[in-house]
Amino acid sequence: MSLQLWMQEKIGNGKKIAILGVGSELRADDAAGMYLIALLSSSLQDEPVLLIGGSTAPENFTGVIKDYSPDVLLIVDAAHMDATPGEIRILDTKNIGGLSFST
């Protein structure tokens, strides 16, 4: 499924969305999530989307996310995946063996 189709299916139709950007701005190759939050904050000012710059401690924002109670939580982070630099992959929690954060 293409990224555009996935976003239309998961994020469209008036759903309450939270986007958590993860990464270190001190390590440029790890700042993808933080960079996206900065871009979206200027272009989505009138949209009902919670944008969170989680930086290197995204776990500190679990309470904020829980209080917002989104239909969809999108976590954006750079990852080593043996892929082309800049490639975007969508990972569904159903396809992940275990969940943990490490930045």
Q: Reduce the DSSP state of residue 57 to 3 states and report it.
A: coil
Residue 57: pLDDT band by 50, 70, 90 thresholds? very high
Residue 60: pLDDT band by 50, 70, 90 thresholds? very high
Nearest to 103 by CA among 64, 77, 85, 76: 77
Is 15-95 in CATH node 3.40.50.1450? yes
Could you tell me if 30 and 75 are in contact, meaning their C-beta atoms sit under 8 angstroms apart?
A: no
Could you tell me if 55 and 93 are in contact, meaning their C-beta atoms sit under 8 angstroms apart?
A: no
The pTM is what? 0.81
Q: Reduce the DSSP state of residue 51 to 3 states and report it.
A: strand
Residue 29: pLDDT band by 50, 70, 90 thresholds? confident
Terminal Cα-to-Cα distance of the chain (whole angstroms): 28
Q: Which segment of 17-21, 57-61, 89-93 scores lowest on mean pLDDT?
A: 89-93
pLDDT of residue 100: 62
